[in-house]
Chain A
Amino acid sequence: MINFLLKRVATGIVLIYVVLTLIFLMLHAVPGDPAMQLLAGDGAAQVTPAALEAARERLGLNAPLPVQYWNYLAGAVQLDLGTSFQDGAPVLDLVSERLPNTLELVLLAVLIALAVGIPLGSVAARRGGFVDSAISVGTSIGMSVPVYVVGALFVLLFALKLGWFPAGGYEEAGGNFVGHVSRVVLPAAALSFGIASIIARMTRSAILDNYRQDWVRTARSWGIGRRLVFRKHVLRNSLTPVATVTALQIGTLLGSTVLVERIFNWPGISALLVDSVIERDYPVVQGIVIILSAIFIFINILVDVLYGYLDPRARVS
């Protein structure tokens, strides 16, 4: 297991290096001058060539590309991701301010999705008939409706029509806990909509598959009650693929936060990433992409470990 983990970590580090290099090259290849963005912004400022040149020099953009790359790489291995072109703040500070907000959103969405998806899938598998069909239709809709539509509908219904929740925004949990919770529920629920449907369908299919196994029949023939067989054997075995899919969906959820954070005005890292791409704030974009990649790789390693825990055969292999 240790060897396996070490191998995965080493592969992860190589992957992060590749991502770092690719994002560096891609950012420098796309048109758009960070110095001009800094000086002109959204306004129509008259920027003189001298002012532009001075800004480029200050941002280190006049150095040859290999030198810029080397400097960035040297900083990254020391966990120095540079400073924002726009406001001069260290990238790590910006990321550490925003990342917890996004992770909170994603983790809450996963919890909601598990809490809704597993029972729904179980009911569909065990009840069959109309209930199964109704849940199948519902989850098909859940998987096919884009998150921005769900988000917009949630705002219209729960914020504007019913007035149960604020339409968006953020409050520090330390300052106003209830206010904080009230603002995170809608975006997390919107984010969980699709993945809850996927989990429900995966649970249903895995349960049905397990019910057809010989060992279920054997267990029943030994006189073990149906509920016990379901809880102790069928459900547990069915959760292995569910756990894998859920963990892999976290990457998709991180991507979906780009839209959800915008709709609900949630100050997460995805909103910062979009703004930084627009402003051509290279250090911030690079820093966020590297950290998100690291998170994604970490999750994949975690999935492997979890898989081993849930399925002893995988552990042995």
Chain B
Amino acid sequence: MFGYKAPGRTTGAVAAGVAIGLLLSACGGSSSSQDSASGEIIEDGALTMGLSAEPANLPAGKDTGQVGYTLNALLHRGLMAYDSDGKLTEGLAESYKVVDPKTYEFDLRPNLEFSDGTALTGSNVEQTLEYLSDPDTAAHAYGGLKDIESVEVSDEDTVVVHLSQPNNAFLQYLAVPTAAIVPPDALTGGVDAWVGAGPFVLEEHNKGTNMILKRNAKYYAADEVPLETLELAFYPDGKARTNALLSGDVDLIDYVPWEDFDRVSSTDGITLDAQDGPFMYLHFNVTDGPVANPLVRQAIAHAINRDNAVAAAFSGHGSPLSGMPVSEDDPNYDEAWSNMWSYDPDRAKELLAEAGYENGLTLSLLTSSQYAFHQDTALSVQADLKAVGINAELNNPDWAARVEQGNAGKYDIAVSGNVGTVTDISYISAFVDGPANYTRSFGYSNAKLNDAFSKAMLTQDPGEQQKFYDQAREIFAEDVPLTTISSRAQGYAYANTVTNFKNLPGFLSFYSGYSLASMAEVSQ
């Protein structure tokens, strides 16, 4: 404009500086994992896992979500455990004996130690099981361990557990990662359970960045743990986690975002391992209002187009579910459990008319904006309900507010996602009975349903058991304490330098830390 020559020196210097910076930085950039595709297994290798959250704490026995389960499986062991096929196996117990349906005897492995060098004895088992079965502890595995009546240490290495009533899933509950045996100071409150008797020991915690775990030389099967070092790098953002894997920054990630499934699975040198496990459902406040009427709940169950919900919330990576999921390995498996309510808008309208709402009704629908899949499920349900004459008003706060409103029953319908603590069919009873909880229908109680579940769990006769579970299923379908929408695929993904890691099947997907600890290897 003024006829001057451009001040080339200034811009040139900036450009050169930026270029040098880029070059310098690029030297430090990590190369793609695909370049170092599988070779020989590295003995005592190191693996970096992108973890979906940073554990702020690790309170003994508590449910702190998937990251908590993973850490418990890495740092701790219970009397029982799961192998990498999801089969129940012995943990700290070398063997066990079912003396009678209410008495279990466990022989501990010899010379057990916690990672800090203190001995792990029968007394530790006794203290931990008493802690976990105390209702005030609010333990994750309480649903199955509440039946513990007493624990007897017959000698330092033998523990006898007496139950108040038979519990067919008792051994499974002992294998839940949060049912680990921990040192006494972790049971008194205020002290996190970082010290354990598991395959790894926490060496370093760089807050906001990572945790460095080293193989625990005092673990009873330390020589069977392939990895020497396991870095857990925190990637709370799903996209950042996926990008870290694809760029080779990490070897393995958990909780692959559903919208990234196709991108991950189509990338050479990356394996996506997804299992249908957790499920989404609607539950109700049945204390008053229209949804206190089972006919309205049935109408809602029939109004939902579950295929649409799977597409909206999980990019199609899940399965429609119109009943409670039961493992096909379960002796009481019956396909009828998974097919209770067909998608039938006309039937839904008939039921609403029968209930006296032929002109439609307005209900509040509680979900959470913090998790896109909760929100998207709610939006899909909202559209389906509108089609049968139900105006569902969305209440979409963040998770903390969602929990508070759920506990206080401030909703008509709420969206939840959950998973059974164990794979045994008895897990269903925890969804229909117990004190108010933000994941269960508010004010719901059905004595006949509870009775059928109780009898099924108490009897040792398979025929009788089947009969009671059938009764429970029929009541469930008619009374609709909750209605399921879909199962969702829970995915891990890893570079081809990682071998032998397995996402455990079904509900056990969240416990895949067991496989990571005992099987995963890295190669060159």
Interface-located stretch among B10-18, B100-108, B160-168:
B10-18
Say yes or no: is A74 at the interface (Cβ < 8 Å to chain B).
Answer: no
- Contact between B25 and A167, CB atoms less than 8 A apart: no
Q: How far is the CA of A37 from the CA of B209 in the complex (A)?
A: 22
Beta-carbon contacts under 8 Å, B11-59 to A: 11, 14, 17-18, 21-22, 24-32, 53-54, 56-57
Main SS class of interface, A: helix
Is B28 a contact of A46 with CB atoms below 8 Å? Answer: no
A47 vs B407: C-alpha distance when bound (angstroms): 10
Q: Is the CB of B29 within 8 A of A166?
A: yes
| Contact indicator B4/A226 (Cβ below 8 Å) | yes
Q: Say whether A267 contacts B209, CB under 8 Å.
A: yes
- Contact digits for B211-241, partner A, Cβ 8 Å, 1 yes 0 no: 0000000000000000000000111110110
Residue pair A39, B62 in contact (C-beta under 8 Å) = yes
Selecting from A14-22, A155-163, A248-256, A293-301, the interface stretch reads A155-163
| From B2, B17, B27, B140, contact of A43 by CB (8 A) | B140
Q: Which of B130-138, B149-157, B299-307, B479-487 touches A?
A: B130-138
Which residues on the B side are within 8 Å of A180 (C-beta)? Answer: 28
Q: Are B64 and A32 in contact (CB under 8 A)?
A: no
Interface size, A (range): 35 or more
Q: A161 vs B401: C-alpha distance in the bound complex, in angstroms? A: 40
Select which of B26, B65, B237 is within 8 A of A164 by beta carbon: B26
Q: What total of chain B residues lie within 8 Å of the partner, measured CB to CB?
A: 75
Contacting A45 at CB < 8 Å: which of B10, B17, B21, B140?
A: B140
- B269 contacts the other chain (Cβ, under 8 Å)? no
Find chain A residues with CB under 8 A from B404 CB: 31-33, 36
Partner of A115 from the list B18, B54, B66 (CB cut-off 8 Å) is B18
- One of B244-252, B315-323, B350-358 at the interface: B244-252
B7 / chain A contacts, CB cutoff of 8 Å: 119, 122-123, 126, 227, 230
Binds A, one of B75-83, B289-297, B433-441: B433-441
Q: Judging by beta carbons under 8 Å apart, are B247 and A159 in contact?
A: yes
Residue numbers in A under 8 Å from B63 (CB-CB) = 40-41, 43-45
Docked complex Cα distance between A10 and B53 (Å): 41
* Chain A residues, CB < 8 A from B239: 152, 263
Q: Check A36–B4 contact: CB distance below 8 A.
A: no
How near does chain A come to B472, taking the closest CB pair, in angstroms? 20
Complex formed: what's the CA distance from A70 to B378 in Å?
42
Distance A255 CA – B190 CA, assembled complex (angstroms): 34
Contact between B403 and A37, CB atoms less than 8 A apart: yes
**Contacts A166-B244, A168-B249 given; 6 further ones with Cβ under 8 A?**
A43-B62, A126-B6, A166-B30, A185-B25, A226-B4, A278-B400
Some 27 contacts from A to B, beta carbons below 8 A apart, are A30-B401, A32-B400, A32-B401, A33-B403, A36-B403, A42-B53, A44-B63, A45-B62, A45-B140, A46-B437, A47-B138, A48-B135, A48-B136, A49-B435, A88-B190, A115-B14, A119-B10, A128-B1, A163-B29, A167-B249, A169-B233, A170-B209, A183-B28, A263-B240, A265-B236, A267-B207, A268-B208
Taking Cβ atoms with an 8 Å cutoff, the residues of B that contact A are 1-2, 4, 6-7, 10-11, 14, 17-18, 21-22, 24-32, 53-54, 56-57, 62-68, 135-138, 140, 142-143, 190, 192, 206-209, 233-237, 239-240, 243-244, 246-247, 249, 370, 397-401, 403-405, 407, 416, 418, 430, 434-435, 437-439
